[in-house]
């Protein structure tokens, strides 16, 4: 499936992940970690963005980044390129270091900034690397707790969510992070919301973000009524559509439904897959096969066009 364009506007805050190729280690010694931190500092100075939190794990980099005029793509491309060059020179090796392009989810900071920062600071504990986030040297946790200074790290926005000031704010933040040790995260920060998979926030926030990014808003279509429309067109029940088997009619109906869901953004493929008990990769492949077939078969194209027209009139 074609990727949707990145959302960019000054003030946008993203949860960013950059992972090692094939889960390989991207940090193997202190010099690697130190170099990456230096590159983060140089990036802030050059591009004018802000980093609200970070954690460097053996196989992954996670950041909370707020951009200004320079888009996140340029920031991350330079970071990845410069660090890969350093790593390969330092370790006398060649090849790709990172797994494809970085992942980024735009977040609503009012709802998710503070819990996201906690999630980053607890990542070494959740990954069984360290038992105490305060003892892990390669995250922003120690800086937020007043144990060290990271001059290029922006802390004001995070502390604005803590109802204390001064030393009490440091203590409250430390306690807030430790509270997360006793309970699992309530939010999956690796994906966006149902309205738009690029945005972690409610529908109103996602709409505002799309407007600021000057991108077309998803078409307003109710997912339940769209499902009913496809079931009626193929003369199927939802149980038949979700049943195990290789019925050509059911497979084609799922592909049509997935295609419509993608175009109208009324439901993500992840949500549709759960509903129909199918994995995302198989749904995505079926949609792609249908789209290719429709280019050669006017009948498929016309059927999809009619379904789409009816969906938009619902």
- pLDDT given for residue 28 in this prediction: 95
Q: Are residues 46 and 189 in the same domain?
A: yes
Q: 232 and 187, same structural domain?
A: no
**Secondary structure element (H or E) that encloses residue 200, with its range:** strand 199-200
**At 313, phi and psi to the nearest 5?**
-95, -5
* Long-range contact pairs involving 160-168 (C-beta distance under 8 Å, separation at least 24): 161/113, 161/114, 162/114
Q: Which residue has the tokens 């430790």?
A: 178
What domain count does the chain have? 2
31 falls within a domain: yes
User: Which regions of the chain are under pLDDT 70?
Assistant: 1-3, 216-220, 314
Q: Are residues 28 and 133 in the same domain?
A: yes
Shared domain for 206 and 227, answered yes or no, is no
Instruction: Look at residue 217 and tell me if it is in a domain.
Output: no
Give yes or no: residues 182 and 85 share one domain. Answer: yes
d(CA 213, CA 251): 36
Co-location of 234 and 203 in the same domain: no
Cβ distance 61 to 87 under 8 Å? no
CATH number at residue 52: 3.30.70.1290
Listed in sequence order, the DSSP H helices in the chain are: 30-47, 72-91, 109-126, 141-144, 156-159, 166-179, 203-212, 223-234, 238-242, 248-264, 269-276, 280-296, 298-313
- Are both 183 and 308 inside the same structural domain? no
What is the predicted pLDDT for the residue at 216? 66
Out of 178, 212, 246, pick the residue that ends a domain. Answer: 212
218 domain-assigned = no
Does 283 fall in a domain? yes
User: Residue 61: which of 8, 98, 100, 7 has the closest Cα?
Assistant: 98
Domain that holds residue 108: 13-212
Report the predicted TM-score, pTM, of the whole model to 2 decimal places: 0.71
pLDDT for 1 = 41
């Amino acid at each position: 499936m074609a990727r949707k364009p990145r959302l960019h506007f000054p003030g946008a805050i993203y949860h960013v992940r950059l992972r090692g190729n094939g889960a390989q280690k991207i940090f193997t010694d202190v010099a690697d970690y130190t170099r990456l931190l230096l590159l983060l500092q140089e990036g802030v100075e050059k591009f004018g963005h802000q980093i609200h939190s970070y954690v460097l794990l053996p196989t992954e980099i996670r950041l909370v980044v707020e951009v200004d005029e320079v888009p996140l793509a340029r920031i991350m491309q330079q970071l990845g390129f410069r660090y890969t060059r350093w790593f390969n020179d330092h370790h006398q090796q060649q090849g790709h270091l990172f797994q494809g392009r970085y992942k980024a989810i735009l977040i609503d900071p009012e709802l998710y900034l503070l819990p996201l920062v906690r999630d980053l600071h607890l990542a070494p504990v959740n990954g069984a690397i360290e038992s105490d986030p305060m003892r892990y040297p390669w995250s922003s946790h120690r800086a937020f707790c007043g144990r060290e200074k990271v001059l290029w790290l922006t802390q004001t926005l995070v502390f604005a969510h803590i109802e204390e000031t001064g030393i009490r704010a440091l203590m409250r933040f430390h306690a807030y992070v430790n509270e997360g040790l006793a309970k699992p995260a309530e939010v999956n920060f690796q994906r966006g919301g149902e309205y738009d998979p690029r945005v972690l926030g409610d529908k109103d926030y996602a709409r505002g973000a799309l407007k600021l990014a000057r991108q077309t808003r998803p078409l307003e279509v109710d997912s339940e009524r769209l499902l009913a429309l496809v079931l009626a067109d193929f003369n199927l029940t939802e149980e038949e559509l979700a049943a195990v088997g290789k019925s050509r009619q059911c497979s084609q109906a799922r592909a049509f439904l997935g295609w419509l869901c993608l175009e109208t953004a009324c439901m993500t493929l992840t949500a549709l897959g759960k509903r129909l008990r199918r994995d995302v990769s198989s749904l995505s492949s079926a949609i792609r096969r249908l789209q290719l077939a429709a280019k050669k078969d006017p009948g498929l194209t016309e059927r999809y066009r009619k379904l789409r027209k009816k969906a938009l009139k619902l």
